[in-house]
Amino acid sequence: MEKIHIAAQEDTPEIVIDPAANRLAISGRSLPEDVALFYQPVLEWLNNSASGALSIEVKLEYFNTASSKILLDIFMLAEDKLPDARILWHYDQDDDDMKEAGEEYQELVTISFELVGY
């Protein structure tokens, strides 16, 4: 499978699926009108093509409630399909809300989950 790149827009994050590097990256702001449709390529790739020690790197400035749910779906799907996967939750050290969100996700999954302040 080839690399997939979805460019960031005003209300949607940049998504990079890089099978060669075994990496999924989500960054920016996540407020899509149709969250299921927007994240469909990610879920399909996780279901059908992802393998091994996948690195999921999340660096969001803001996300809405619908995005929060789909992020959990992504993390739990990775946990189910790829027990060697790891999540890197990047957050601005001045953003307590984003740090707390990462801590909450960290409690909900059993795969490796690292909080990375910058």
107: in domain: yes
39: in domain: yes
Contacts 24+ apart (CB under 8 A), 2-11: 4/41, 4/45, 6/41
pTM score: 0.94
24: in domain: no
Residue 99's domain comprises 4-19+34-49+64-117
Give pLDDT tens digits along the chain (118 positions).
Answer: 789 999 999 999 999 999 999 999 999 999 999 999 999 999 999 999 888 899 999 999 999 999 999 999 999 999 999 989 999 999 999 999 999 999 999 999 999 999 999 9
87: in domain: yes
98: in domain: yes
CA 28 to CA 44: how far, in whole Å?
21
Name the residue among 25, 21, 30, 31 with its Cα closest to residue 52: 21
Cα angle value 81/56/53 (rounded, 5°):
50
57: in domain: no
58: in domain: no
Q: Report how many domains make up the chain.
A: 1
Q: Are 27 and 36 in contact (CB under 8 A)?
A: no
